[in-house]
Chains A and B, each alone.
Chain A
Amino acid sequence: MDTDTGTLFLALLAIASQLTILAVAVIAIGSRPTLRRVRVAVGHQALQLAFLVALVSTLGSLWLSESAGFPPCRLCWYQRIAMYPLSVVLGVAALRRDVAVRVYALPLVLIGAALSTWHVLIERFPSLESSTSCEISNPCSIRWVERFGYLTIPTMALTAFALLATLLVLAIKEDHGQEAPEPSR
């Protein structure tokens, strides 16, 4: 996959994720009953979906640095520290259907989201990182990728962390689902 196609693919995934987060937020604000129905429909599979998000984010991050040739800056590494373990922890939790993983995963997600937010700000306002000059070697203010006018690598990372937080909040225990009617005889 060439760089152009790969970054476009990641950008499209980010947009789909943002629309999902927006939809859940609107439902959460507008209609509690609808939110309950969404939780029942999605909650049992939320850990699997969260694992997929963390896995795709991890693989995408590795592809950007190892294949596309965009060297990770200091803040990129900090975000990787938050994201990479999630792909393992959430994978195990999805297999065990262990919703209690939220206690361990959400702090990592929130730390990662905070780092991504700071990175996005530095991209927009480089003076936050250094007062008067740009570093020679890979400053965090470099925008290696910019798709659709706003989707940079840390913006995509922030989206992934936000989607992970959404899914972890939606996750419910196995026996909290809507009970199906008994099949008619």
Chain B
Amino acid sequence: MARKRPNRRGRAVDRGPNLTVYVVVAVVVLGVVAVVLSRGGGDDDDGGAAGGETRAVTVSGADTLPPFTDPSTDPARGAEVPTLTGERFDGGAITIPGSRPAVVMFLAHWCSHCQAEVPRVAAWLAANGPPDGVDLFAVSTSVNRAQGNFPPSAWLEREGWEIATLVDSDDNAAATAWAIGGFPFFVAVNGDGEVVARISGEIETSTLEALIEAARTG
């Protein structure tokens, strides 16, 4: 498919094959290949965007917490947290907080900082055991099958996660009610169900211990 076209001097110029046509044909062929390969992959479109890794969550009691800004001036400090009632990944019932002080961690499976935090906390828990008088909870939220490290249930199991974990809803009702400000997000709650401290971002185990102590002492 060589093309000849006169140049400015009026002589025929060999412009070579019409690559544009070949490229368009190649693009179409790749489109067909993509369709064929995708059909071969089977239908895995169950569970919507969250891929079945969310559960219904009931939010009751107090109003939604104020938005998180800065830990030192957090307007949620002293406010009563809404009660979160739902399920764990294994279907068991869970309510956050319980009757005791608690530290609650909000985790997103796709978040690299959560992926770094979870083994750190798991190792700390394995070494130290559950803290006296304080419950540790986690919330798996913002689930999206299109993002990395999915599904969260497999991730947490792989990491040996022993902390009771609430599975958030499709619309992230738990995270919204507690007005989290990033991932991972930690909330220390005293025995009266009031916020003692909120922290956004990865923390060291020494900070986790300080949060536990803050929840205990209220």
Query: Contact residues of A with B, CB < 8 Å?
Result: 1-6, 8-9, 12-13, 16, 40-42, 44-45, 48-49, 52, 56, 70, 126-127, 130-136, 141-146, 174-175, 177-180, 182-183
How far is A136 from B23 in the complex, measured between Cα atoms in Å? 41
Contact (A174, B7) CB under 8 Å given A12-B34, A127-B112: yes
How far is A84 from B26 in the complex, measured between Cα atoms in Å? 23
The residue from A6, A12, A136, A180 contacting B12, defined by CB atoms under 8 A apart = A180
Is B24's CB within 8 Å of the partner chain A?
A: yes
Is B202's CB within 8 Å of the partner chain A?
A: yes
Is B8's CB within 8 Å of the partner chain A?
A: yes
Contact (A143, B147) CB under 8 Å given A48-B20, A174-B7: yes
B 183-212 to A, binary, CB cutoff 8 A, 1 in contact else 0? 111000000000000001111000000000
Task: Give B17-51 interface residues, CB cut-off 8 Å to A.
Answer: 17-20, 23-24, 26-27, 30-31, 33-35, 37-38, 41
Are A16 and B38 neighbours in the complex by a CB distance under 8 Å? no
Using Cβ atoms and an 8 Å threshold, which residues of chain B touch A49?
19-20, 23
How far is A182 from B13 in the complex, measured between Cα atoms in Å? 10
The residue from A12, A142, A178, A183 contacting B13, defined by CB atoms under 8 A apart = A178
Contact (A52, B20) CB under 8 Å given A174-B7, A174-B8: yes
- Can you give 22 contacting A-B residue pairs, CB < 8 Å? A1-B35, A4-B41, A5-B35, A8-B34, A9-B35, A41-B17, A45-B16, A45-B19, A127-B113, A130-B201, A131-B201, A133-B200, A134-B110, A134-B182, A135-B182, A142-B147, A142-B148, A174-B8, A175-B8, A177-B13, A179-B12, A180-B11
How far is A127 from B111 in the complex, measured between Cα atoms in Å? 11
Are B110 and A142 neighbours in the complex by a CB distance under 8 Å? yes
Q: Nearest Cβ in chain A — how far from B48, in angstroms? A: 11
Are A40 and B16 neighbours in the complex by a CB distance under 8 Å? yes
Nearest chain A residue, comparing its CB with the CB of B42: A4
Are A179 and B7 neighbours in the complex by a CB distance under 8 Å? yes
How far is A110 from B18 in the complex, measured between Cα atoms in Å? 28
Using Cβ atoms and an 8 Å threshold, which residues of chain A touch B38?
2, 4-5, 8
Using Cβ atoms and an 8 Å threshold, which residues of chain B touch A177?
7, 13-15
Using Cβ atoms and an 8 Å threshold, which residues of chain A touch B11?
179-180
How far is A100 from B145 in the complex, measured between Cα atoms in Å? 46
Nearest chain B residue, comparing its CB with the CB of A145: B146
Using Cβ atoms and an 8 Å threshold, which residues of chain B touch A13?
27, 30
Nearest chain B residue, comparing its CB with the CB of A152: B148
Using Cβ atoms and an 8 Å threshold, which residues of chain B touch A135?
182
Using Cβ atoms and an 8 Å threshold, which residues of chain A touch B200?
132-133
Task: Give B101-135 interface residues, CB cut-off 8 Å to A.
Answer: 108, 110-114
Nearest chain B residue, comparing its CB with the CB of A6: B34
How far is A41 from B2 in the complex, measured between Cα atoms in Å? 10
Nearest chain B residue, comparing its CB with the CB of A131: B201
How far is A99 from B210 in the complex, measured between Cα atoms in Å? 65
Using Cβ atoms and an 8 Å threshold, which residues of chain B touch A5?
34-35, 38
**Besides the contacts A41-B16, A174-B8, A175-B8, what 4 more A-B pairs have beta carbons closer than 8 Å?**
A134-B112, A136-B182, A136-B183, A180-B11
B9, B15, B18 — most chain A CB neighbours (10 Å): B15
Q: Nearest Cβ in chain A — how far from B39, in angstroms? A: 8
Q: Nearest Cβ in chain B — how far from A126, in angstroms? A: 4
Are B33 and A12 neighbours in the complex by a CB distance under 8 Å? yes
A12, A41, A49, A133 — most chain B CB neighbours (10 Å): A133
